[in-house]
Amino acid sequence: SQTIHQWPATLVQPVGSPLSLECTVEGTSNPNLYWYRQAAGRGLQLLFYSVGIGQISSEVPQNLSASRPQDRQFILSSKKLLLSDSGFYLCAWRSGFLEAFFGQGTRLTVV
Amino acid sequence: AQSVAQPEDQVNVAEGNPLTVKCTYSVSGNPYLFWYVQYPNRGLQFLLKYITGDNLVKGSYGFEAEFNKSQTSFHLKKPSALVSDSALYFCAVRAHTNNDMRFGAGTRLTVKP
């Protein structure tokens, strides 16, 4: 069966520090991968999605970036965090016409 | 580009009463439609989906949703609400020809005993 791992669960980082959130998927090949941000327990904002290794589509211009170095690994990064980057970050995967499956999320607080 | 609207930020119902959480969508071509539920500080859990075929879709925990193409709606329903159904509900859409998935702003459902 397929599983998705996302870590860390919580993170507190100072303004201006770098960020690296990692997401890995098991049990499937060539999935579509997604990063979403959820602010204040409300709607999900699509940040990036990837249909293959090295292929990243960015939905919102900002100081975040994403990379997909391996088929089932998706990384969200920032060189310098802003206060406005605080939020709940969710990774998801999808294959074919199936629904997307979500990780448990990372609560990022920038202080 | 596709989009989803959930017109109600909050829905309150009494336990045992039917519930409806509304969703309308905009997409070029045929849609895939989804409902998810989120409990505090957790990821989203899949409830049900519409791909094609029967407009009435049944999903987990007694939830169902009806696809209405003419009204571009996909409302979530349950005949008898439980207190444990209280959570944040998200509708999502993806076009058949697209890879990105768009979510609505979410509707907070509160079921009171």
Q: Do A51 and B99 touch (CB under 8 A)?
A: yes
Pick from B83, B39, B80, B45: which is nearest to B63 by CA? B80
Pick from B72, B44, B42, B46: which is nearest to B59 by CA? B46
Q: What is the pLDDT of residue B99?
A: 75
Q: What is the pLDDT of residue A61?
A: 65
- Where in chain B are the domains? 3-112
What letter would DSSP give residue B16? T
Q: What is the pLDDT of residue B28?
A: 87
Using the predicted structure, report yes or no on whether residue A97 has a pLDDT greater than 70: no
In CATH terms, B3-112 corresponds, of 3.30.450.40, 2.60.40.10, 1.20.1740.10, 1.10.3300.10, to 2.60.40.10
Q: What is the pLDDT of residue A41?
A: 62
Best mutation target, A21, A35, A42, A95, to test chain B (most B CBs within 10 A): A42
Nearest-CB residue to B99 (from A32, A102, A105): A32
Q: What is the pLDDT of residue B1?
A: 75
